[in-house]
Amino acid sequence: MLKGKSSAEVGARMSALFDDKREAIEQWTRDPCGFSGAEGVEVGTKAFYERVDANRYDEYGPWMKSTLEFACFAGKRLLEVGFGMGTDLFQFASSGALASGVDLSPTHLQIASQRFSLYGVPADLRLADAENLPFKDGAFDVVYTFGVIHHTPNTQKAAEEIYRVLKPGGRAIIGVYHRYSAFFLSSVLLESYLLRLGCLRESYRRTLSRIEVRRHSDACPLVKVYSRGSLRRLLRRFPVVQIECAHLDRSHFGTLGRLVPDGIVGWLERRQRMGWYLIAKCTK
């Protein structure tokens, strides 16, 4: 199904029967991003946000704080596109960044606003669309978006908006799902879609949508995956684009993981191969 097709073409075909933005709002309003790591803890309390942080940075992605440069932008005007529950944006703001953020989900806005208010950290948080950012040209020194723009139908427009609101010389950090990751190739494409005959039970889009944690709705969010080449094409307006690859462990190989030696997993991780995220660090 992917052969000979760009991510944009595949995304357009998958979107034909869905209202992509409505599906995204449904998905992350009913199942806020990162919430599953803190179930059972009262939302809006310090214990809740501490549990969310521990799940994200200690259990899920110990590499994130350094790779995503949370402590590097003190005094800089920073925008996060798709802030979720405000987890990453709070890291930037706590380190001195002048934080702004947009998100489609009212639930995300509520939970993130509660966090910033609880800790007394200022931030400009708005309900808005990645494809139509409500800011002037050159408004920010840094734009950050992680795991977000591959869910919007016109990802190219979102990339153009990120470029537009950056000042000349500004930086963008953009994380998307990796097509040639162990997780996508082994767990999603090979096992879920082919070997378990998901291809006979449901659409390719529906299988990809199950990547996202969904416990309280039957939403079908759009999910796109990118190669290094297609990500560079998406970000072609930026004169400088450096791409890193992160997040790989044995479980990403699915049932085949038990056969993969530790040395191979470690070598692939060190060589930045087959991780679930591609992270583009761009300069305008």
- Asked if residue 163 lies in contact with residue 171, where contact means CB atoms within 8 angstroms, the answer is no
Maximum C-alpha span of the chain: 53
pTM score over 0.85: yes
The lowest-confidence range among 58-67, 105-114, 202-211, 232-241 is: 202-211
pLDDT digits 0-9 by tens, 138-165: 999 999 999 999 999 999 999 999 999 9
So what's the pLDDT on residue 192? 85
Please report the DSSP string for 261-277 in residue order: -HHHHHHHHHTT-S-SE
- Asked if residue 177 lies in contact with residue 224, where contact means CB atoms within 8 angstroms, the answer is yes
The pLDDT-based confidence of 194 (bands split at 50, 70, 90) is confident
The whole-number average pLDDT for the span 80-106 is 98
Helix count (H) and strand count (E) of the chain?
12, 7
pLDDT digits 0-9 by tens, 2-49: 344 454 444 455 455 679 999 999 999 999 999 988 988 999 999 999
Which residue bears the tokens 């996508």? 184
Distance of CA 126 to the CA centre of its chain: 18
Alpha-carbon Rg for the chain, nearest whole angstrom, is: 18
pLDDT digits 0-9 by tens, 198-207: 788 888 999 9
Percentage of the chain exceeding pLDDT 70? 94
Which residue bears the tokens 């990162």? 34
Cross-strand bridge partners of residue 103: 127
- Torsion-angle region of 260 (φ positive above 0: left; ψ -120 to 50: alpha; else: beta): beta
pLDDT at residue 111 above 60? yes
Instruction: List domains and CATH numbers for the chain.
Output: 7-283 (3.40.50.150)
The whole-number average pLDDT for the span 60-76 is 97
